[in-house]
Amino acid sequence: MRSERWALGGDLGVARVGYGAMKLTGWPRGERPDRDAALAVLRRAVELGVNHIDTSNYYARDGVSANELIRAALHPYPDDLVIVTKVGALVEGPDIALPATEQRGLTPDGLRRGVEANLTSLGLDRLDVVNLRLGDRGHEDAPLDGPLKTLLALREEGLIRHIGVSNVSLDQYTRARGLAPIACVQNAYNIARRDDDALVDACAADGVAYVPFYPVGGFQPLTAERLRAVADRHGATVPQVALAWLLARSPHVLLIPGTGSLAHLEENIAAGDLRLSAEDLAGLG
């Protein structure tokens, strides 16, 4: 499956195992690799066939920015590299500490500033895909129509190629599809957290990519015995089985596991070669 591709937005061929850059910054909390290690991870990811990188201008902490690292490591970018960014309530990394009433990222001005900040920090004239992130703290009931209208206008200006949505319900996804062409959905989903099953299926029916975050549990790593049993049969790790399960879920599922470790990067990408049998999948439920 490592060699399999999905046409993101219908025209951007991406490998199904990509890379998420958030962990390179330790944002919003946590450890991060030093600069040389972060640059090495990004370059190695591309060497291993990754051509889909997920990032955002607000992935930044203490002067360390995911977008700046991506630009330093990979610019001028390979012709087939697809960089997916996101905008939402936050514009800058430190905005996460602001009261929700002071987070203006979902306003027309805030969305434009977010898009322009991503363009500038990545050194691009147009963003391949911009995900509209909803549902953050204090913005659970944020309207969808206005922000999508703003992103559509920015697309008309040539600043955005495709639009996606993130952290949305099935109803919000359905509404978004009625307002704009949607290239992808990015939501929390993994083998132990399957609340989005109906949305995953809806995206598959619509030919829309589904990109799970927290693919191996996020801050609560997966340790179920059934995962361990399958991992042992294949000589693999539990996270590799969790990633392989997602790839087996449907061809439209794209992965963006993040890491600041070269060893973990290679392990994650190797999960694309792990083929789970019907017996494995039945045992995993």
Q: Just list the catalytic residues.
A: 59
Bridge partners for 140 per DSSP = none
User: Is the torsion defined by CA of 101, 104, 107, 111 positive or negative?
Assistant: negative
3-state DSSP call for residue 193?
strand
DSSP string, 196-223: THHHHHHHHHHT-EEEEESTT-TTS---
- Mode of pairing for the β-strands spanning 82-87 and 64-65: unpaired
Over the Cα atoms of the chain, what is R_g?
Answer: 18
Pairwise CA distance, residues 261 & 81, whole Å: 21
d(CA 112, CA 276): 43
Q: How many CB atoms lie within 10 A of CB 182?
A: 24
Torsion of CA 236, 238, 243, 248, to 10 degrees: 70
201-210 burial string, b = 16+ CB within 10 Å, else e? ebbbeeebbb
Tokens of 98: 């602001």
